[in-house]
């Protein structure tokens, strides 16, 4: 499964993204507060999978220098609309290969974007790329869901979301040995024909992410159950994990 530029799945979701991930549910304000708190006032943030700038635009409004990498031209088009002055410096490309050519105090990957890489090897490479973009003393921040409910899924599951402009149906099949969910999306939007796209996600438990981070030269500094530093523990449905360079002095 490739993560080639112009993934039709991401392009298709661009149309309904803000409806599927409303700010209140995604904890946008809290995430911005958290990330800004890790970054010195003159520092810079790089977001892998910056999307339509849900986090990047309010972070730049805080006076931070914000960069983003994303492979979806549709998502980046929406970012440009949301950020008409171009304060967020966006690079169109695959985050496994694209670069801003500089280092950043915070390198961020939010909203399960890490799992969009369908192979373990790619996930390790991604953490390595994040490490390479890290300024001395900087932090990698990763937000991901707890995969337990998905891991229990047998066979296929269909979820239907009724949104303002139409309906989005997601059908997922679980491939247990590779921890993958193969997802087929049907979008029936009022203003156009039915569109379909597919993608594969690879989920990982926090302990595996920590081990992959170790392979990439990172070590865990803090883990929370959410952006407001809620305590992480059994039953947490997601985590916000913060890493530093493994060779950083303590």
Residue in the block written with tokens 């959410």: 226
Q: Minimum Å distance from CB 84 to ligand SAM?
A: 19
**Shorter beta-carbon distance to ligand SAM: residue 11 or 219:** 11
Q: Minimum Å distance from CB 171 to ligand SAM?
A: 18
Q: Minimum Å distance from CB 220 to ligand SAM?
A: 21
User: At a CB cut-off of 8 Å and minimum separation 6, what does 124 contact?
Assistant: 212, 215, 216
In 3D, which of 124, 120, 75, 69 has the Cα closest to residue 95? 69
**Shorter beta-carbon distance to ligand SAM: residue 81 or 137:** 81
**Shorter beta-carbon distance to ligand SAM: residue 50 or 200:** 50
Q: Minimum Å distance from CB 223 to ligand SAM?
A: 19
Residues that bind ligand SAM (CB under 6 A): 3, 10, 47, 49-51, 54-55, 69-72, 75, 94-96, 110-111, 113, 116
Angle between helices 120-132 and 206-215 (to 10 degrees): 60
Q: List alpha helices for the chain, DSSP H.
A: 8-14, 17-20, 23-26, 28-38, 56-61, 73-82, 120-132, 148-151, 206-215
């Amino acid at each position: 499964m490739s993560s080639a530029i112009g993934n039709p799945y991401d392009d298709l979701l661009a149309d309904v993204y803000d409806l599927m991930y409303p700010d209140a549910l995604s904890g946008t304000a809290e995430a911005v507060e958290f990330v800004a708190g890790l970054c010195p006032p003159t520092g810079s943030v790089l977001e892998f999978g910056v999307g339509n700038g849900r986090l990047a635009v309010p972070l730049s409004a805080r006076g931070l220098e914000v960069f983003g990498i994303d492979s979806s031209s549709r998502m980046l088009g929406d970012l440009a609309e949301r950020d008409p002055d171009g304060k967020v410096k966006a690079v169109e490309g695959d985050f496994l290969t694209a670069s801003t050519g500089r280092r950043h105090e915070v390198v961020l990957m939010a909203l399960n974007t890490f799992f969009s890489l369908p192979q373990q090897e790619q996930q390790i490479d991604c953490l390595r790329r994040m490490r390479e973009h890290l300024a001395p003393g900087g932090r990698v921040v990763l937000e991901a869901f707890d995969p337990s409910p998905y891991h229990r899924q047998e066979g296929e599951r269909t979820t239907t979301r009724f949104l303002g402009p139409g309906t989005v149906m997601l059908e997922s099949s679980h491939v247990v040995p590779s921890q993958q969910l193969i997802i087929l999306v049907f979008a029936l939007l009022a203003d156009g024909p039915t569109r379909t796209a597919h993608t594969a996600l690879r989920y990982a438990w926090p302990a595996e992410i920590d081990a992959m981070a170790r392979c990439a030269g990172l070590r865990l500094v803090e883990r929370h159950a959410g952006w407001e530093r809620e305590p992480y523990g059994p039953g947490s449905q997601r985590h916000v994990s913060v890493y530093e360079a493994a060779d950083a002095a303590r």
